[in-house]
Amino acid sequence: MKARKIRVLIVDDSAIVRRILAETIAAESDIEVIATAPDAYVARDKILALHPDVITLDLEMPRMDGLTFLRQLMFLNPVPTLVVSSQGQSSCAATIEALRCGAVDVVAKPATPHALRNLRLTLAEKIRGAAVSRPRPATDTPTSRSRRAISAADIAGVTDDPITVGIRKAPASNSASIADRRIASPQSISKRHVVAQRSSRSLIAIGASTGGTVAIQEVLTQLPADMPPILITQHIPAGFSSAFAERLNRNCAIEVREASSGDMLRPGLALLAPGDHHLVLRDGPKGLTVDLDRGPEVCYLRPSVDVMFLSIAESVAASSAIAVLLTGMGSDGARGMFALKQAGAATIAQDEASSVVYGMPREAIRLGAVNSIAPLSSIAPLLVRLALASKLHTSPESTLQEAFL
């Protein structure tokens, strides 16, 4: 039996953009454009009449802007929405806000030949991703207020129980012995002690795609400032990454910025791959630094999570690294995570229930690259615990087990 086509509504005030999107989609056998709308009011009527599976949404429209429309849509009648945005500074900020408000993904407006080519290569896959996603209403975190970072007191009481997989060593049977090694009480952890312990983890690397901007924000806003260095690759078109980094930086205790070639890694600093550049780790004479690489796209992706993970797997930092693969369509990151696990890194995949699209984490799990599967809400506490744990006496696997207790 032939699967039903994905039915798409195009919302854009530009007739040219509507036509380009429609023509791009027409080349796909499993996707069809059921209607187009030049503004939010027409869009609302067509959504009610036609129930599209996916909406592509322009943010800059007359009568009602796309962001206002999106907020109402996600509140009243959530439909998976792909933002089609220009790359001006204000639209980038609006796009990142749209992703927070529940939009699933973003494609750059076909304003340049390069953007047009990218659109043709990625639009269909992003629509497929949106179609299988679970749109979620905006997180109630106010954008202006920083979410409180986790303190030692918080993690001492963590009782989340993520499923632990891929552990080939038998789980410790003596729960009392593990209990002994647990953090005894929040008061026992002095700040200095924490910092000293944390130096045992070289870095944290996070990869994500569809639904990733919200997931990354959820994780990063909970991290305290003295975390190990963090590297992030989120699939995002060129131009949008700096707005994303700025938003994260405003809302996080750690410093977050778009990476530049030669940046040194340091605790409390998260570096985000700029759109259209691979973020790679270099271990040179001066220590760990990053490089931006405009090498070939990997499966049409740049930045690629695999490229970032593999560069870490190859480095001296691998055995003390922590890798996290979050929500996203496709399989980017799985192969790199496998190499990282082989090299001794602790590896974590977001679970299905909390993923917007359970593609990349599932592939990593299928390959056997994952130490632990965790819901999004548990990932930040888990990272804090792993960063606290001394790797000298424990393997990543036993540390992961302890971290869940």
Partner 1 sequence: MNAVLVIDDSAIMRKIILRQLSQAGIPVDSALEAADGAEALALLRQRTPALILCDVNMPNLSGLGLLSRMREENLALDVPVVMITTENSEAQVRQALALGARGYIRKPFTVDDLKSTVTPLLTAAQPA
- Give the span between the Cα atoms of 304 and 209, in whole angstroms: 10
Residue closer to partner 1, measured from CB, 263 or 306: 306
The verdict on 369 binding partner 1 (CB under 8 A) reads yes
Could you write out the DSSP letters of every residue in 125-161? Answer: HHHHHHHTS---PPPS--TTSPPPPP-HHHHHT----
The reply on whether position 164 binds partner 1 by CB under 8 A is no
339 belongs to the binding site for partner 1 (CB under 8 A)? yes
Q: Which of 13, 154, 314, 352 binds partner 1 (CB under 8 A)?
A: 314
Contact 35, 13 (CB under 8 A): no
When asked if residue 203 is in the footprint of partner 1 (CB under 8 A), the reply is no
Strands (E), 171-268: 203-208, 230-234, 255-258
Among 185, 199, 342, 377, binds partner 1 (CB under 8 A): 342
Quick one: CA torsion of 150, 269, 239, 358, rounded to 10 degrees? -50
Structure tokens, 151: 């303190």
Point out the catalytic residue in the list 133, 235, 278, 351: 235
Burial 145-155 (b: 16+ CB within 10 A, else e): eebebbebebb
| Residues binding partner 1: number (CB under 8 A) | 16
Among positions 313, 380, 383, 403, the unique one binding partner 1 when judged by CB under 8 A: 313
Phi, psi of 300 (to 5 degrees): 65, 10
Does residue 92 belong to the site contacting partner 1 (CB under 8 A)? Answer: no
Among 265, 343, 348, 356, binds partner 1 (CB under 8 A): 343
Nearest distance, CB of residue 201 and partner 1, angstroms: 17
For position 344 contacting partner 1 by CB under 8 A, the verdict is yes
With CB under 8 A as the contact rule, the residue among 92, 123, 214, 310 that binds partner 1 is: 310
Segment near partner 1 (CB under 8 A); pick from 96-104, 264-272, 286-294, 367-375: 367-375
With binding defined as CB under 8 A, does residue 104 bind partner 1? no
Nearer to partner 1, 91 or 311 (CB): 311
Query: Which of 39, 105, 276, 332 is flagged as catalytic?
Result: 332
Helix (H) and strand (E) counts in the chain: 15, 14
Residue 328 CB, nearest approach to partner 1 (Å): 21
Q: Which two tokens stand for residue 316?
A: 């001296």
Q: Is 235 a catalytic residue?
A: yes
Beta pairing partners, 32? 7
- Residue 161 annotated in active site: no
Is residue 323 close enough to count as binding partner 1 by CB under 8 A?
Answer: no
**String of DSSP letters for 259-325:** --TTPBP-TTEEEEPPTTSEEEEEEETTEEEEEEE----BTTBSS-HHHHHHHHHHSTTGGGEEEEE
Coil vs helix vs strand at 359: coil
Residues 376-405 that bind partner 1 (CB under 8 A): 395, 397
Q: Residue from 185, 368, 377, 390 that binds partner 1 (CB under 8 A)?
A: 368
**Is 209 marked active-site?**
yes
Rg of the chain over all Cα atoms, to the nearest angstrom: 21
Residue 339 Cβ vs partner 1, minimum distance, rounded to whole Å: 6
Burial of 296 (0-12, 13-18, 19+ CB in 10 A): exposed
Active-site entry in 91, 209, 242, 331: 209
- Residues classed as catalytic: 209, 235, 332
Would you tell me which residues interact with partner 1 (CB under 8 A)? 310, 313-314, 318-319, 338-339, 341-344, 367-369, 395, 397
